[in-house]
Amino acid sequence: MKKVEIRLTGVGGQGVVLSSVILGRAASVYDKINAVQTETYGSDMRGGDVCTEVIIAEERIIYPIINNPDILVALSQKAYDDNFNDLKAEGIIITDSDLVNVSSLKKGIIYYHGSFNKIAIEELKKKAVANMAMLGFFQEKTKIVSLDALEKAIADLVPSKTLDLNLKALQIGVNIGK
């Protein structure tokens, strides 16, 4: 697998940072490849814009940050607007269908979307697990990390009493990605 540079963006409270940590952990601890995760901080972290990056690669990752991502996950309109121009020519965009209006895509860009937020609210009555649905969808579409590794990483990072719900959301995401 060649190096994949992923930028995850959204607003505070959507679990964007946690998603990136889960991805990195799944890759490096369980899939035994390499990952670097970095965050962009602001004093307005809660409610404000969130931008986090994960690089996943089989080889050792030396340069730790991303200039132009291969994959952009945008979970808010502003996140999409601010970041889509950075995407590499053959890049992939993943958005939440109900939160982001994607217009005028450049040629060559692959566009995937799912109603993560809506499904989390309607099917699981828990908005907070929308990010897990996104991760499941991401896994199914990209196969950069294994589902097994993702599940293990989630188990490490979410409170044990919410694990089942989180894994359910993950599976729903996988299913809508199919």
Partner 1 sequence: MKNKKNIERKTDFIQGNIACAEGAIAAGCNFFAGYPITPASEIAHYMSRKMFEVEGTFIQTEDELAAIANIVGASWGGNKSMTATSGPGISLMLENIGLAVVTETPCVIVNVQRGGPSTGSPSVAFQGDMLQPKFGSHGEYQIIALAPSSPQEMFDFTVEAFNKAEKYRIPVFILADSLIGHMRERVDFPLDDEIILEERKKLKNYQGIHQKIFLDENVAPMPIFGEGLKANITGSTHKEDGFRNVSDPKIMDTAIKRLSNKILKHKEDIIAVEEKYLEDAEVAIFSYGLVYRAVLETVNIARNQGLKVGSFRPITIWPFPQEQVEELSKKVKTIIVCENNLGQIYPFVKAAANGNAKIIFLPPKILGALYKQEEILNKIKEVIS
Q: CA–CA separation, 116 vs 69, rounded Å?
A: 22
Which is closer to partner 1, CB of 119 or CB of 132? Answer: 132
SS3 127: helix
**Smallest separation (angstroms) from partner 1 to the CB of 48:** 13
- Does residue 111 interact with partner 1 by CB under 8 A? no
Binding footprint of partner 1, residue count (CB under 8 A): 20
SS3 63: coil
SS3 26: helix
Residues 14-73 that bind partner 1 (CB under 8 A): 21, 24-25, 28-29, 34-39, 41-42, 61-65, 67
Which is closer to partner 1, CB of 104 or CB of 160? Answer: 160
Which is closer to partner 1, CB of 133 or CB of 153? Answer: 153
Work out the burial of residue 91: count CB atoms within 10 Å of its CB; fewer than 13 is exposed, 13-18 middle, 19 or more buried: buried
Compute φ and ψ for 113, nearest 5 degrees.
-155, 155
Q: CA–CA separation, 29 vs 169, rounded Å?
A: 22
Which is closer to partner 1, CB of 23 or CB of 172? Answer: 23
Q: Which residues bind partner 1 (CB under 8 A)?
A: 21, 24-25, 28-29, 34-39, 41-42, 61-65, 67, 153
